[in-house]
Amino acid sequence: MSRSIVTRALMFAALSLAGHAYAATSPDGAASERAADFVAHDFRFSDGAILPEVRIHYVTLGTPQRDAHGDVTNAVLLMHGTTGTGQAYLTPLMHKELFASGEPLDTSRYFIVIPDGLGRGGSTRPSDGLRTHFPHYGYGDVVEANHRLLVEGLKIKHLRLVLGTSMGGMQTWMWGERYPGMADALMPIASQPIPMAGRNWLWRQMIVGAIRNDPGWQDGAYTVQPTQWTRVMPVFTLMTNNSARIQAEAPDRASATHLYDTLVANAGKTDANDVLYWFESSWDYNPEPDLPKIRGRLFAVNFADDLINATDLGVMQKLVGEVPGGRFVEMPETAQSYGHQTLAHPEVWKPYLVQLMSGS
C-alpha cells in the first residue's frame, strides 16, 4: 500500500537531520545496513571554490566480492531525488521488492552503496554553518562527490549498475557521460536528459523565489527559520503526485485545506538555505550534447502521469537513439501509478530492472 501524501511530507520534513554511523538488519533479515561517513579532502567545486573537507554519508547493503586482483566485482550505486536522502531506498517496500532473496538487487549477490547526495541528509550542506557562503554546487559536484566516495573511500573501480530516481536519475545520465565504461548498466528513473526549462523550471523558480523574497530569509543570515516561503511548497506535491492520489487523500474541501496546512507546516521543519540549494543545484544539468559518450546498457524508465518529466514532450523518442544501446519505456497511468512518486514503488518498475540486469 502507498504511503500517504502527508506521510511523505513528514519524511520530507525530516530530511535535513544528519545521519550517524550504525549497523542494522533489514526487515527481511537478509541484508545488513552499514552506515558510515567518507571525507573527501580539498574538494574543488565546479565554480572553483574549494572546501578542505566534504563529508558524504552513505549506507551499504551486502558484502563486496573481489576478483583475483582484489577488485570489487558486484558493486551497485543508488542515487536519490532532490528532496531525499539515501533513506528513500531503505524502506520495507524497497527491501522486499529489490533487495530480498531472489530479487533483482539481492544483497547476497550485490554490494549496494547508497549515499546521501552532497547538500543533503548526513552529508556536508549549507546548514552545517556556511549557509549562503557554501559553494553553489551543481549536479556535477554531487556526482563527483559520489565518485570520490566509491573510488577513494570504498576502492571501487567498476559498477554492475548505477540506478537513480528523479534527481538521481538525472545524475545517472551524467554519470554515464563522465565515467563511460565504469558501469555495466544504467537505469535513470523519472528523469529526462534535457536541461531545466519550461514547466519544470517554472515550478522550481516558484520555490527559489519564495525563499529569496521571504522577509525572514535575510540573505541567508537568519537566526530564526523563515516561514513565508513554505506557503509555496505544496506546489511540490502538485507536481509529484498524480491527481487521483491527491483526490483520494483530500476528497473534500476540509481535507484538502488540512492537507495544505500540513504540507506548509512540515516544509517549515526544513532549513531554508538547504532547500534553496536543492532547487538551484540543477543549474548545470544538460546531458543532451554528450549522450553518445555513454557506454554500457542504459534503460530509462518514465511514467506517463509524471508532470515533472512530461512524456508529451517526446524527449525520449528524440534522444534515446543518441545513446549506444539505449532503451526507454514510458509506463502508462494505471491504478498502480502515482505520478512522479511512482519512483518510490519498485513493484511497478522492477520488471524493467530485471530485464536490464539480465542483459548486462
Question: Distance between CA atoms of 212 and 204, rounded to whole angstroms?
Answer: 13
Residue span of the structural domain in which 95 resides: 5-198+279-359
Over the stretch 178-220, which tens digit does the pLDDT of each residue have? 999 999 999 999 999 999 999 999 999 999 999 999 999 999 9
SS3 157: coil
pLDDT at 14: 44
Question: Distance between CA atoms of 229 and 217, rounded to whole angstroms?
Answer: 9
Whether residue 212 lies inside any domain: the answer is no
Taking the model in full, what pTM does it have? 0.93
Whether residue 273 lies inside any domain: the answer is no
Strand 22-25, strand 32-44: pairing: antiparallel
Grid cell listed for 38: 567518507
CATH of the domain at 304: 3.40.50.1820
**How many Cα atoms occupy the beta-carbon half-sphere of 261 within 13 Å?**
6
Whether residue 124 lies inside any domain: the answer is yes
Q: What is the mean pLDDT of each run of 10 residues along the chain (360 residues)?
A: 53 42 46 92 97 98 96 98 97 98 98 98 98 98 98 98 98 98 97 97 97 98 97 97 95 98 97 98 98 97 97 98 96 94 97 91
pLDDT at 32: 81
Whether residue 353 lies inside any domain: the answer is yes
Whether residue 259 lies inside any domain: the answer is no
Over the stretch 13-61, which tens digit does the pLDDT of each residue have? 444 333 334 445 444 444 589 999 999 999 999 999 999 999 999 999 9
Whether residue 161 lies inside any domain: the answer is yes
Whether residue 262 lies inside any domain: the answer is no
Whether residue 254 lies inside any domain: the answer is no
> Number of folded domains in the chain?
1
Question: Distance between CA atoms of 170 and 188, rounded to whole angstroms?
Answer: 7
